Amino acid sequence: MADTEQSQVGSDPAFGRRTFLRQSLVSIGSTVQEFVKHRDAPSIKESIVKPISIQKGWVRPPGAVDPTEFLERCTKCGDCIDICPHESIQKLVNDETPAIFPSKNPCQLCEDFPCISACETEALLPISGLNRVKMGVAVVSASLCTAGNGCNACVSQCPMGALSMNFSVFSVVVDPKFCVGCGQCQFICHTVNDQAAIKVLITT
């Protein structure tokens, strides 16, 4: 059969061209499939550094202990939720534990922290001052930040003075030493832009 095909290729130029074109199309198809597969797959860098907190979109209330210990101590009583004067604390749908969604209603950093006082199981521990709050830290996506178009609304809204403008690259900069993760910057960014360029990530 192979000798017959070789004979046909040698005697029929059209047959040779057809064979060549067929093999070329198969090769191109395989190349396209490989490109699409690698294009759509997350890069190694993305799969490693993409914080899971971005996918969750929430943080624990002020004074929350270590995540594992929090789940052990929290009884889901809802006292911290009920007492929050700004209705910032909500129940997570999956386990009914308290959480704050910065893009919807950020923590207003009450001076007396009524949510902590209401917690009787020490899932939320007393804090000596606002600068001791550590719910997370805000991170800016330079590619999404519209500071280059004149927006810096988040800077003036930060109650801790943790945000500033970097005019050399026209982007907002977060100082993690002062950021407490209240999410007020994320809320205002989400309000004035189509897509929030600043998000609070869980640091624990």
> Please, what's the largest Cα pairwise distance for the chain?
94
**H or E, element range at 139:** strand 137-140
Write out residues in the chain with pLDDT < 70, as ranges.
Answer: 1-56, 203-204
Identity of the residue numbered 146: T
Nearest CA-CA partner of 61 in 35, 21, 25, 88: 88
Q: To 5 degrees, how large is the angle CA 187–CA 45–CA 51?
A: 30
pLDDT of residue 16: 52
**Residue 99 CB: number of other CB atoms within 10 A?**
20
CA angle (199 as vertex; 49, 82 as ends), nearest 5? 120
pLDDT at 55: 41
The residues pairing with 172 across neighbouring beta strands, listed in sequence order, are 165
The token pair at 19 is 């064979």
What values do phi and psi take at 93, rounded to 5?
-65, -35
Q: What is the pLDDT of residue 106?
A: 97
DSSP-based three-state secondary structure for 157: helix
Q: Which helix (H) or strand (E) holds 99?
A: strand 98-100
Contact 93, 76 (CB under 8 A): no
Question: What is the dihedral sign for C-alpha 152, 154, 157, 163?
Answer: negative
Res 61: pLDDT: 97
What is the predicted pLDDT for the residue at 204? 56
- Cβ(145)–Cβ(194) below 8 Å: no
Backbone angles phi, psi at 50, to 5 degrees: -70, 115
**Cβ-proximal residues to 2 (8 Å cutoff; 6+ apart), any chain:** none
Map residue 171 onto helix, strand or coil: strand
Q: What span, in angstroms and rounded, lies between the C-alpha atoms of 179 and 162?
A: 5
